[in-house]
Homo-oligomer: A and B are copies of this chain.
């Protein structure tokens, strides 16, 4: 089961491969006018909001350090965590045409985020030939992710989902997967549960199960991976 916790990939505007902060690309590109003036690094405290559902789309965001959660608020006020962003992730608001944000983003811890004004991107659109194509590729990834998610939610147990969640965190943070990855669970058990469609108690219980089986060591918010292969094996 693939259960990518975040559909937003940081793809190189030119080649489509994942790479570093797009600011570097913009600054390097001689065709782009005044990149340093438009791009700024912002630091957010824990629980601080990057953008709010319903507000106008003004920026793209690149997470340089820290972690962010992405929340959708339903009509009746119920909240659903849609995904998490980590260091190295690019946040491309899906509404590109000056419409409003479809979700709210909140920092889970002190984080540093590189912010690009959208109209700066638009202004440089012709000069960045593959930008638009990559935006489309981005939506495509979102939709594929949606399909995978449906499969994951419907057909798998709580333990399965939790394993998939952990593996996704490990893969996405490109940790050394030498059977000893170290993970920082900056979100609460309630956050994880909300994201996976589980009660926080169920998350906790299944973490304990993984501990008992010796697959991981968990101390408060720190998680150490003991046996990647066994964890991956639990997904069947």
Contacts and interface: CB of A to CB of B under 8 A. Distances in A.
B153 A2 contact: no
Q: Which of A140, A143, A149 is the most central at the interface, judged by chain B CB atoms within 10 Å of its CB?
A: A143
A95 B153 contact: no
Count class of interface residues, chain A = 35 or more
Contacts of A136: 96-97, 139
Contact of A151 (B80, B94, B95): B80
A219 interface: no
Given A103-B147, A142-B146, A197 B72 contact: no
A236 B151 CA distance: 25
A155 interface: yes
A28 interface: no
A176 interface: no
B133 A97 contact: yes
Nearest to A145: B146
A140 B1 contact: no
Interface of A: 1-2, 72, 74-76, 78, 80, 82, 94-97, 99, 102-103, 133, 136-137, 139-140, 142-144, 146-151, 153-155, 194, 197, 236
9 contacts: A72-B147, A72-B151, A80-B147, A80-B150, A80-B151, A136-B139, A142-B142, A143-B146, A150-B153
